[in-house]
Amino acid sequence: MLASRSWNRTDNGAGRISISEGWGNYIGNTFTARKYDVIDTRISNFNRNRLENQTPDYIVDDDGWIVYGMLHDMTDNGEPSGTGVTDNVNSYTTAQLFQGLQNDVADVRGYQQRLLQQNGYRQVLATDDLVNSYRW
């Protein structure tokens, strides 16, 4: 039996983990929020707020370096105050985010470059600001 291990942003391979775990958190919360929009808005709001209000932090918060909020920020408009995130990216779809998850993407910057490449370098400066604000 393997002992559980706590990862952090400075570990070897952390960039790949940030993207893959980020995708799992993003898609799980997004689909749950969409499902419960008409059933129970408390549940949909909880899941959407988890994405929208992520505050990047790789020193105190165990998962603050996982970029689930960044993925959401690429698809929405604006950012609540207090997160420290610069979010002027809004033109990506969930399908485009998924298509960027290629086996040769090894970190957050590689993922950013793949998304830009696959989508005509759309919002390149705003995307760079967003990734910078997530401290990658």
Over residues 107-124, the pLDDT tens digits come to 999 999 999 999 999 999
Model-level pTM? 0.90
Specify the length of the chain in residues: 136
113 occurs within a structural domain = yes
Q: How many domains is the chain built from?
A: 1
d(CA 30, CA 37): 11
64 occurs within a structural domain = yes
32 occurs within a structural domain = yes
Host domain of residue 98: 14-133
What pLDDT digit, counting tens, does each position of 63-116 carry? 788 999 999 999 999 888 888 899 999 999 999 999 999 999 999 999 999 999
5 occurs within a structural domain = no
7 occurs within a structural domain = no
6 occurs within a structural domain = no
48 occurs within a structural domain = yes
